[in-house]
Amino acid sequence: MQKHSTLFDNNLKNINLKNINSSWTLFIDRDGVVNEEKTDDYIYAWNEFRFYEGVKEAFRIFHKKFGVIVMVTNQRGVAKGLMKLKDLNSIHRNMVAEIEKTGGRIDKIYTCTDMESPLRKPNTGMGLQALKDFKAINLSKSIMVGNTLSDMKFGRNLGVKTNVFLPTTRKEVDINDPTIDLVFPDLISFAQAL
């Protein structure tokens, strides 16, 4: 997992993580990045939600570094009828409250609850909504952090500067995939590199 030593964009131009400031935007996935992901299942209620170690501290760092922080998450358990939208909203309210308690923030959460939709990653719909809602977003100063190739393809399709892959739940993914620019073992490791 040596890829974490160099950060590069589609044109292989090196950038320095230490140069990230409030003009930058962070796009971030949820399950498998922020919280423990259930294998072949969904988080149905707040009492099942478990933050990964160091995630709240990571968001405290992100709050200081990034001007805009948005979560983009596929949640098709709602479309499948396995959970209700009110339960998903409750999970997100509680998650944000916990992050804010420790000095972090998420400016907005975009969810795709449909099975097939232009909003569903790797499609760019949630990212386009964020661009409409936050005029400060500059894709050439944006990073996508996720734990699936779908997240990485979303970042490429949207045109963000850099894709950061966390192999927390997808150990089988080839980190040399061309959609992956940077690899860290977990979210706090990425945050501490900023």
144 by DSSP, 3-state: which? Answer: strand
Are the CB atoms for 71 and 28 separated by under 8 Å? yes
DSSP string, 77-119: TTTTTSS-HHHHHHHHHHHHHHHHHTT---SEEEEE-SSS-TT
Of the candidates 1, 65, 51, the residue with the CA atom closest to the CA atom of residue 193? 65
From the candidates 29, 107, 151, 181, which is the catalytic residue?
A: 29
Q: Residue 17 CA to chain centroid, in angstroms?
A: 17
User: From the candidates 31, 107, 151, 181, which is the catalytic residue?
Assistant: 31
* Active-site residue, 29 included: yes
Task: State the Cα–Cα distance between residues 121 and 112, nearest whole angstrom.
Answer: 8
Q: Is 9 a catalytic residue?
A: no
Catalytic residues, by residue number, are 29, 31
